[in-house]
Structure 1
Amino acid sequence: MVDQPVIVIGAGPAGTRAAQRLVQAGLRPVVIDENDRQGGQIYRRQPENFRRPAEKLYGTEAAKATALHTDFETLRPHIDYRPGTTVWGVSETGLMTVRASTVDVVPFSRVIIAAGATDRIMPVPGWTTPGTYSLGAAQIALKAQACAIGGRPVFMGTGPLLYLVAWQYLRAGATPAAVLDTSSLTTRLRGLRGMASRARVVANGVRYMADLARAGVKLHAGITPLAIESSNSHVSAVTWRDTKGALRQVACDAVGMGYGLRSETQLADLLKCEFMFDPCFQQWRPHVDRNGRTTRPDVYLAGDGALLRGADAAEAAGQLAACAVLHDTGHTIDQHETAGLHETLAVMNRFGRGLAQAFPWPAHLAASLPDDTVVCRCENITAGEIRRAAGELDAPEMNRAKALTRPGMGRCQGRMCGLAAAEILAAAREVPVREVGRLRTAAPIKPLPLNCTVKS
């Protein structure tokens, strides 16, 4: 397939910079974007008929978002841009895509996967109640639909996104009822050394928290989630325990929840890339070298789909992955360019791991989930059923548990439940979570329309 184009999957920070570098070298890459407009999740654009200013949409990152959007528009004549298109599988001849209801196979010589990340969810009793959203979904509602998930939402989970989304809602006029963080002040201090490598970003986070506090929003640290309560089949309150063990409750009309991010790895899995367990982020991810090369010679990764480091790192990683593609296909690359990118990413690596220490994934919560808590909402599988797979059915790893009791068998293929289900299985078997492995990916990785037609 040497005469076929280079494909970039994703048009967020990593995908845009990768495409830009390929164009600078004289290539015309194919850019496949699941969204209708470029920007990814963090710099997601509003619909063309909306006119909210960038400062309202992106806060302190407005200038970076605008620059990325502007640079992409400059690229448009020089790339084959395919918006609203999902890569759902892999065949011997290329990537299998769908746009509207038309299925196509796109051949490639090399592919850069810049698929980003999605919310990492820890279930809690009541989390399937109408009015409960992921943090990413709450953010999409503001950016892409100019509406709020509620007038008095609670934001619960951990990580920088928790405070950013709460702050964005405050700025939009929907004052949060509370922000509930499972991370304690002690763990945040533990990660401060790594985060100090990017003092400006830390200062922005402190600003968000200060603005929320000044507006009267209660910020609770070190909490233990107990339940999302409902009234008339809709969210009405959140119950939790504070650091002293006292039972607390706050009334609300919506909940946004998320515990950091999980890399989107399904395409790398379908393309047979090798994976590794990252003990810092407590999840499996594709094995990549410092330039974004995977263990398959024609597949490269960039951005949060490879390593969770944020938007600025994604831009540098996208450019670096493109440089790797160009080097591997006979182009001359200035070593000063790659050295500068490596230096930038070294700072981002320290910061990313500092964040993981400051706002850790609360794996311990999985062991105490009540048996009747729904974990896999696609298949309505409870924590008790996963524990039954671990014990009575003697499932030693996630794919065996999936075969026996169906967690991860639904339309999202474990995107929402897979990491929490693995923690439940590991806790029930009293083994480290890495020993229960990861769910294998199967096509289609996302649902397809029933009326699909094949492009001739």
Structure 2
Amino acid sequence: MADPRIVIVGAGPAGCRAAECLAAAGIRPLVLDEAPASGGQIYRRPPPALDRPARSLYGADAAKAEALHRSFDALAKRVDYRPATTVWGLDGDRLFVRRGSEAAVVGFDRLILATGATDRVMPVRGWTRPGVYTLGGAQIALKAQGVAIGSPVVFIGAGPLLVLVAWQYAKAGAKVAAVLDTSRLADQCAALPLLAARPGMLARGAGLRLALKRMQVSVHQGVSPLEITGDAGGVGGVAWRAPDGSLRDVAANAVALGWHLRSETQLAELAGCDFDFDPVWRQWTPRTDRFGRSSRGDVYLAGDGMKILGADGAELAGRLAATAVLEDIGRLPQGARPDRLERRQKRFARFSRGLARAFPFPAEACRSLADDALLCRCEAITVGEYRATLQRTGASELNRAKALSRVGMGRCQGRYCGAAAAEIVASGETPVAGAGRLRPQAPIKPLPAGVRAGAGDQAEEA
């Protein structure tokens, strides 16, 4: 009998390890990757022309990045790897993909979604000015192109990525004007018992903060960002409120902002997977068993697209998902011990809960956003206009509010405005979980004009 068609979406840490596990069992999976090379966002490979040592690109994770790259490259003859391929839709057991100007349909028997995560952001007055980036965008500019988004730069947000990217910029020689952390020291201290599940990572985070201090970078905690100032030409600075209530500002020509990450779950939604609301992370995540099996049965999830566990946790999740696939098709190697992976995964989950509590999403700040702040960038809807729609119509569910206001209807489909919109809907008597989640629609990624049918299992006009 022919092997079942197993497709992996994503070639970050989770997707690479899933492919490795399947290949070791004698199965040749198809790996669809939006990036031009494997590694994902965390271990993104620079273009060939950018000759920089791994240590300068990945810091303390250089050995892990190189190991992941080597192991996946070694699979070249045992996997069907298709880079620069965007999966923009899913229906039944078919994936709709695009590579360049060609579109195709790819069928599957089993599907592993290792779709990763994107920055979770909160609208701030002036966040659409030229020179404002997400933390991930700022990091990619430095990693993939060897350039800074500006100098001096202000970093706003909360979470490990905030301090990491600020340190990377300072180390690269860019001037860091300030790090504005919305989380409180009290929250971080309260989360220490959970964070102690990974003492090495905890020590690394503390070390980065000390390094910033030695570099004379100002780090302000418990702040409330008020406005990214400037004009149509770009950023001029940032105004914020300190914990003591005083108003402060700092000059800069670029800003990077982000509040940790949000799972990329659009394909899981289109697949019909069940979801649960995570009250700690304040976001919806796919419902899976401990190995990544979804409620659908033939769809499995791994990595940050399932739950935010970091790169190490994503590698484990990829192996677990592949193990589940092998078990379900009767190909699990004799003597396999997935329970060992599972025990390690529990430590990562405990640490993840600690991060969410130490660096909470600023829900209250979303609810108190100024009326003139732009909420939905795609449709140019302000917070005041959104509130007026909710009050006028009585909408208490995100999709109903979307239909009436167009917030979440643009090209990002709520990736950037959805979290804040949910908090605003929940400003009244509705709990944030009761506000629901925005339903995605294909194409989940914008398609260029002129896409035509191309090679694939089944080619269709697009």
**What range is the shorter-chain TM-score in?**
over 0.9
Is 1:34 the counterpart of 2:34? The answer is yes
* Matched residue SS, 1:75: coil
Pairs aligned (count): 455
- Structure-2 residue corresponding to 1:430: 429
TM-aligned CA deviation for residue 171 of structure 1: 1.6
- 1:36-435 matches, within 5 Å, as 36-92=36-92, 94-231=94-231, 233-333=233-333, 337-427=337-427, 429-435=428-434
Q: TM-score, normalised by structure 2?
A: 0.97
* Matched residue SS, 1:330: coil
Is 1:446 the counterpart of 2:445? The answer is yes
- Structure-2 residue corresponding to 1:7: 7
Which one-letter code corresponds to 1:67 in the other structure? A
Which one-letter code corresponds to 1:348 in the other structure? F
Q: In structure 1, how many angstroms separate the alpha carbons of the residues matched to 2:143 and 2:77?
A: 26
Q: Are the counterparts in 1 of residues 156 and 181 from structure 2 also a CA contact under 8 Å?
A: yes
In structure 2, the CA distance between the partners of 1:242 and 1:335, relative to structure 1 (3 Å rule), is farther
In structure 2, the CA distance between the partners of 1:336 and 1:191, relative to structure 1 (3 Å rule), is farther
Q: In structure 1, how many angstroms separate the alpha carbons of the residues matched to 2:316 and 2:3?
A: 27
Q: Are the counterparts in 1 of residues 13 and 40 from structure 2 also a CA contact under 8 Å?
A: yes
Q: In structure 2, how many angstroms separate the alpha carbons of the residues matched to 1:404 and 1:315?
A: 41
Which one-letter code corresponds to 1:425 in the other structure? V
Q: Are the counterparts in 2 of residues 286 and 306 from structure 1 also a CA contact under 8 Å?
A: yes
Q: TM-score, normalised by structure 1?
A: 0.98
In structure 2, the CA distance between the partners of 1:335 and 1:366, relative to structure 1 (3 Å rule), is farther
Q: In structure 1, how many angstroms separate the alpha carbons of the residues matched to 2:100 and 2:192?
A: 46
1:373-428 residue CA offsets vs partner (Å, 9 max, x unmatched): 1111001111112212221111120000000010010001011111111111111x
1:163-198 residue CA offsets vs partner (Å, 9 max, x unmatched): 110111112111211100000110010111111111
Q: Are the counterparts in 1 of residues 396 and 430 from structure 2 also a CA contact under 8 Å?
A: no
1:193-232 residue CA offsets vs partner (Å, 9 max, x unmatched): 1111111111111111111111110010000110000045
* Matched residue SS, 2:128: coil
Q: In structure 2, how many angstroms separate the alpha carbons of the residues matched to 1:173 and 1:261?
A: 26
RMSD of the alignment, in Å?
1.3
Which one-letter code corresponds to 2:430 in the other structure? V
Q: Are the counterparts in 2 of residues 3 and 109 from structure 1 also a CA contact under 8 Å?
A: no
In structure 2, the CA distance between the partners of 1:335 and 1:406, relative to structure 1 (3 Å rule), is farther
TM-aligned CA deviation for residue 317 of structure 1: 0.5
* Matched residue SS, 1:177: strand
* Matched residue SS, 1:230: strand
In structure 2, the CA distance between the partners of 1:287 and 1:209, relative to structure 1 (3 Å rule), is same
1:42-81 residue CA offsets vs partner (Å, 9 max, x unmatched): 1111001211111111111111011001111101121110
* Matched residue SS, 1:364: helix
* Matched residue SS, 1:341: helix
Q: In structure 2, how many angstroms separate the alpha carbons of the residues matched to 1:445 and 1:352?
A: 27
Which one-letter code corresponds to 2:431 in the other structure? P
In structure 2, the CA distance between the partners of 1:335 and 1:373, relative to structure 1 (3 Å rule), is farther
In structure 2, the CA distance between the partners of 1:319 and 1:93, relative to structure 1 (3 Å rule), is closer
Moved over 4 A (4+): 1-4, 333-336
In structure 2, the CA distance between the partners of 1:380 and 1:152, relative to structure 1 (3 Å rule), is same
Q: In structure 2, how many angstroms separate the alpha carbons of the residues matched to 1:391 and 1:2?
A: 58
* Matched residue SS, 2:426: helix
Q: In structure 2, how many angstroms separate the alpha carbons of the residues matched to 1:404 and 1:431?
A: 18
* Matched residue SS, 2:34: coil
Indicate the percent of aligned positions where both proteins have the same amino acid.
Answer: 54
Q: In structure 2, how many angstroms separate the alpha carbons of the residues matched to 1:193 and 1:289?
A: 25
In structure 2, runs of 5+ residues without a counterpart are none
In structure 1, runs of 5+ residues without a counterpart are none
Q: Are the counterparts in 2 of residues 155 and 166 from structure 1 also a CA contact under 8 Å?
A: yes
Which one-letter code corresponds to 2:403 in the other structure? A
Q: In structure 2, how many angstroms separate the alpha carbons of the residues matched to 1:15 and 1:372?
A: 42
* Matched residue SS, 2:342: helix
